[in-house]
Amino acid sequence: YKVLSTFSEVKEVLKKLKEKKYKLAILSNGTPSLLDELVKSNNLNNLFNDVFSIEEVKTYKPNPKVYDIPIKKYQIQKNEVAYLSANTWDVSAGGNYGFNPVWVNRNNSIFDNLDYIPKHQVKHLGGLLDIIWQILISNIMKNIEVNKIINPIPASDGAGVKLKRSI
């Protein structure tokens, strides 16, 4: 694991995501020194906001404490995370935790018989931008549905601006 190279599309997709202001992070069972070495050797160090290691919480994935690391750091909701892995157990654990997992299935494999099956799968990272868009739209729609239940006819958007209800 000390010498790994990326697939051809990885750097370009990461650049596009970074340009769109997404926070990019690695969450790994690897050690900080190993992860730093891999990121630098692939010239990706300017693309990631953070490289998180399980050493922060002294336990391995799939323990939820590991998946809590970026949630606590960025102060976000679990469903705001698009979580990629080529490992089915990691995809399943991330989904059970509440992330939006994306299985990177480069070899057309069959997903292992686990208790969580991901909604999203890509053969290469090129399809990731469309999936992130789908996740964003889904989260927006869920928020709209929650707001309809809590306050079905809002008077303002909180900034004193009247909202029109479209039918």
Instruction: Tell me the pLDDT tens digit for each residue of 25-61.
Output: 999 999 999 999 999 999 999 999 999 999 999 999 9
Comparing 145 with 136, the larger pLDDT belongs to 136
The residue written with tokens 């900080």 in the block is 32
Q: How many CB atoms lie within 10 A of CB 100?
A: 23
In the predicted structure, residue 87 carries a pLDDT above the cut 90: yes
Distance of CA 58 to CAs 2, 25, 118, 136, Å?
21, 19, 27, 32
- Average pLDDT, integer, range 69-73: 96
**pLDDT at residue 67 in the model:** 97
- % pLDDT > 90, the chain: 68
Burial 73-83 (b: 16+ CB within 10 A, else e): eeeeebebbbb
Q: Greatest CA separation found in the chain?
A: 58
Please enumerate in sequence order all residues whose Cβ is within 8 A of that of 84, keeping only pairs 6 or more positions apart, or say none.
Answer: 101, 102, 104, 125, 128
Q: What is the pLDDT of residues 92-129, one digit of tens each?
A: 999 999 999 999 999 999 999 999 999 999 999 998 88
pTM greater than 0.85: no
Q: In sequence order, what are the residues at sequence separation of 6 or more whose Cβ sits closer than 8 angstroms to the Cβ of residue 138?
A: none
Element (H, E) at 17: helix 10-19
Position 144 scores a pLDDT of: 65
With contact defined as beta carbons under 8 Å apart, do 13 and 36 qualify? no
Q: Please report which confidence band the pLDDT of residue 157 belongs to, taking 50, 70 and 90 as the band edges.
A: very low
> Which of 150, 143, 83, 147 is CA-nearest to residue 118?
83
Decide: 2 and 34 in contact? Cβ < 8 Å: yes
Sign of CA dihedral 142, 145, 146, 147: positive
pLDDT, the chain, mean: 85
Cα distance between residue 126 and residue 144, in whole Å: 29
- Say what the pLDDT of residue 140 is: 84
pLDDT score of 158 more than 80 = no
